[in-house]
């Protein structure tokens, strides 16, 4: 682990906390999270948070392979006197902090995995890691900010552990592997953690998570209900009748049928779904069929993705796709098979919980209403089990030329967002446990 002098962390902390901390309005109830003691504990832990983030960034690991990161997390939680369970869904780590007083259970979640991306950012702690992914040699980088998520939650765990005697209830810290998806042929992520009994013995009353985004520093964005889209994949096999390309009437052309199916799928989202209720996306990402210019092939295969922000519309779109694919293929004398593989569900923010916790976030940053987005997030599985709230932390670099989207090889975040994240996670946990 590289050494970072404390003066670096404190300097960043001072700059960041000066920016986002907003004095509670007269309509906001005071809470333990408003105390000078909490702010001092956050101030004290920030040099470590920065060091953890940089260390994890420099040593990224892909989904189901986060062994080093999990070890770092586990050792830290144990040192804090927190009950620790490891090896859940391969490399997942769960910490249980039982407060001195009775109360509800709140869960805080961070994802630990990196992406198969070669980093293109000039940092002293940039990743140089390469590995094999799905049979290919790839670079590995935290191009989505999960290094920050992990460090933020490690910091919140230290703050809350130091407040154990004041906590009314229990805090569950979920450090999750494989949010970006498991390697081919493997299970992983939130669904696997739940399958292996994450909530079986201790079920939270609420679960919270955050994600850094290239948004304005000092802001948090959140919305009720559908926040991030469901993500399903599909394959379509179109069968025709092979024949000579110069005499297409002697066969059935699956390439033409496949082309008509692609257009037909777009009319589902543009003409059959009420777009005033929810956004929807059907995208075909690949079409494969045929070998020669003068041979009409027997089969064509397509693969694609489906994104929805409403669970009921998601179900109806699946039905519309089945009808569209089959009818178009049959109208041309061919046949088609559609196979939809369910992926992540809609990330749904419980409206009552979100409204309740809004004042807590407003103590920390300038809170804005998030626009719905069509990427997916497997936090959704937790929010299917218990009320959940997922929010976005503005972490854009100060130089506009350095702002790139998540998953870009040039993605980078502003470390001044880290104390805002620690404060936000600490605040929602304490306020929820205190009944606010």
Domain spans, the chain: 6-227+346-433, 230-344
Terminal CA-to-CA distance of the chain, rounded, Å? 39
Q: What is the pLDDT of residues 142-151, one digit of tens each?
A: 999 999 999 9
Domain spanning 230-344: CATH 3.30.70.360: yes
Report the SS3 class of residue 383: helix
pLDDT digits (tens, 9 = 90+) for 185-199: 999 999 999 999 999
The yes-or-no verdict on residue 14 having pLDDT over 90 is no
Q: Tens digits of per-residue pLDDT, 325-374? A: 999 999 999 999 999 999 999 999 999 999 999 999 999 999 999 999 99
Q: Kindly report the pTM of this predicted structure.
A: 0.89
Supply the CATH classification number for the domain 6-227+346-433.
3.40.630.10
* CA atoms of 256 and 232, how far apart (whole Å): 25
Mean pLDDT of 83-107: 98
- On the question of pLDDT at 3 being above 90, the answer is no
* Paired sense of beta strands 83-88 and 92-98, if any: antiparallel
Distance between CA 186 and CA 194 in Å, rounded? 16
Question: Residue 33 pLDDT > 80, yes or no?
Answer: no
- The sign of the dihedral angle between the CA atoms of 327, 328, 330, 334 is negative
As annotated, the active-site residues are 344, 415
Looking at every residue in the chain, the average pLDDT score rounds to 93
């Amino acid at each position: 682990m590289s050494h970072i002098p404390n003066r670096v962390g404190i300097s960043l902390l001072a700059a960041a906390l000066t920016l986002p901390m907003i004095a509670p309005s007269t309509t906001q109830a005071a809470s333990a999270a408003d105390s000078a003691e909490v702010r001092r504990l956050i101030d004290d832990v920030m040099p470590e948070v920065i060091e953890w983030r940089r260390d994890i960034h420099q040593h990224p690991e892909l989904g189901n392979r986060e062994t080093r990161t999990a070890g770092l997390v586990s050792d830290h939680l144990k040192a804090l006197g927190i009950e620790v369970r490891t090896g859940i869904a391969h490399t997942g780590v769960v910490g249980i902090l039982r407060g001195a007083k009775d109360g509800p259970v709140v869960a805080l979640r961070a994802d630990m995995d990196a992406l198969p991306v070669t980093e293109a950012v000039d940092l002293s702690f940039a990743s140089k890691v390469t590995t094999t992914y799905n049979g290919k040699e790839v670079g590995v980088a935290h191009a989505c900010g999960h290094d920050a998520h992990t460090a933020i939650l490690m910091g919140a765990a230290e703050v809350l552990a130091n407040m154990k005697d004041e906590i009314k209830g229990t805090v569950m810290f979920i450090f999750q592997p494989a949010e970006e998806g498991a390697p081919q042929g493997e299970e992983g992520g939130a669904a696997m953690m739940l399958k292996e009994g994450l909530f079986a013995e201790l079920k939270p009353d609420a679960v919270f998570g955050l994600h850094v985004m290239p948004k304005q520093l000092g802001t948090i964005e959140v919305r009720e209900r559908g926040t991030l889209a469901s993500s399903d994949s599909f394959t379509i096999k179109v069968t025709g009748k092979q024949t000579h390309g110069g005499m297409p009437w002697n066969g059935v052309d699956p390439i033409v049928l496949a082309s008509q199916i692609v257009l037909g799928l777009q009319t589902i989202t543009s003409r059959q779904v009420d777009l005033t209720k929810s956004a929807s996306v059907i995208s075909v990402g690949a079409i494969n069929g045929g070998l020669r210019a003068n041979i009409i092939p027997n089969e064509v295969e397509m693969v694609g993705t489906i994104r929805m922000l409403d669970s009921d519309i998601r179900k109806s779109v699946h039905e519309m796709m089945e009808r569209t694919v089959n009818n178009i293929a049959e109208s041309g004398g061919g046949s088609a098979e559609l196979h939809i593989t369910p992926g992540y569900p809609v990330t749904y923010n419980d409206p009552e919980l979100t409204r309740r916790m809004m004042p807590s976030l407003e103590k920390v940053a300038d809170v804005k209403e998030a626009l719905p987005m069509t990427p997916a997030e497997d936090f959704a599985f937790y929010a299917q089990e218990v009320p959940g709230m997922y929010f976005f932390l503005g972490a854009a670099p100060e130089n506009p030329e350095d702002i790139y989207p998540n998953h870009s090889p040039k993605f980078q975040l502003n470390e001044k967002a880290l104390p805002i994240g620690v404060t936000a996670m600490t605040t929602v946990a304490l306020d929820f446990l205190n009944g606010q």
